[in-house]
Amino acid sequence: MIHEAGIIIPFTGAGISTESGIPDFRSPGGIWTRYRPIPFDEFLASQEARNESWGRRFAMQEQFGAARPSRGHRAVASLYRAGKAPAVITQNIDNLHQASGIAPEHVIELHGNTTFALCLDCSARYELSWVRQRMDAANGCAPDCPSCGGFIKTATVSFGQAMPDAAMRRAEDLTRSCDLFLAIGSSLVVWPAAGFPLMAKRSGARLIIVNRESTEFDEIADLVVHADIGTVLEPLILQ
């Protein structure tokens, strides 16, 4: 199917990054088995929630900082370099598709990116090192935007926060234009992202799902591979 396909759109979830040392969300030991998600309205409503949110992010800096592209990322980058995949749609926030050599404008991040921060009011960009230094100097209190007083958050999308319009539109165009949609490492339970495999199928594309666990979209897929992503996709890696 990969050989026959003209346009392949890889669609990735946290499962492609576990081999890189970043835990996923819903496997045993995953993020949501250890932390309760902080909804966006809570982040806005309380300084404690903002302190907790930033505390969690810096507690994970070891894993994020040391993470390198997995065999799965390298296989996706190989499809991109071979001209088979014009872009990748990802739910991940770890920047590993960019690190694997895919141009940033070709990584469609539905849930944003955790490697930098933005002011929620004026959209000023802040580096994580700046935030951390300010928090350490204010004994763990998350800083507000020095230029407008707005709250500062990693450039990610939390539950209850609006999805990024431009990324959603690009993801929809790509999903409708491909003839093979490759869903890799996602439990496909979080909407609207989970709707893309279905949209691809309804637009006439073939659908392949590679994921250790079954998903509710398995029965509409043309092929389902319940196995380790790195092992399954390794043969696609161009040397």
- The residues that touch ligand APR, with contacts defined as CB under 6 A, are 13-15, 18-19, 24-27, 30, 91, 111, 185-187, 189-190, 211-213, 228-229
**Shortest approach of ligand APR to residue 57 CB, angstroms?**
14
CA distance 110 to 199: 15
Residue 145 in contact with Zn ion, rule: CB under 5 A:
yes
In 72-192, the DSSP E strands lie at: 88-90, 107-109, 112-119, 125-126, 152-156, 180-184
Smallest CA-to-CA distance from 75 within 41, 50, 36, 102 is with: 102
Host H or E run for residue 42: helix 40-45
Helices (H) and strands (E) in the chain, counts: 10, 9
**Shortest approach of ligand APR to residue 138 CB, angstroms?**
28
Please pick, among 3, 73, 111, 226, the residue that the annotation labels catalytic.
111
Q: Among ligand APR, Zn ion, none, what binds residue 150 when CB lies within 5 to 8 Å by partner kind?
A: Zn ion
Residue 122 in contact with Zn ion, rule: CB under 5 A:
yes
Considering only 119, 128, 171, 209, the residue that binds Zn ion (CB under 5 A) is 119
| Terminal CA-CA length for the chain | 21
Q: Which stretch binds Zn ion (CB under 5 A): 118-126, 131-139, 155-163, 177-185?
A: 118-126
The question of whether 111 is a catalytic residue gets the answer yes
CA distance 54 to 48: 10
Residue whose C-beta lies closest to ligand APR: 15
**Shortest approach of ligand APR to residue 94 CB, angstroms?**
10
Nearer to Zn ion, 161 or 203 (CB): 161
Nearer to ligand APR, 59 or 189 (CB): 189
Per the structure block, which two tokens stand in for 147? 């230029």
**Shortest approach of ligand APR to residue 133 CB, angstroms?**
27
Q: Among ligand APR, Zn ion, none, what binds residue 200 when CB lies within 5 to 8 Å by partner kind?
A: none
Q: How far is CA 165 from CA 10, 142, 187, 213, in A?
A: 20, 27, 23, 30
Host H or E run for residue 56: helix 47-59
Q: Are 212 and 44 in contact (CB under 8 A)?
A: no
Considering only 1, 59, 103, 148, the residue that binds Zn ion (CB under 5 A) is 148
Contact residues: Zn ion, CB under 5 A: 119, 121-122, 124, 145, 148, 150
Residues with a catalytic annotation lie at: 111
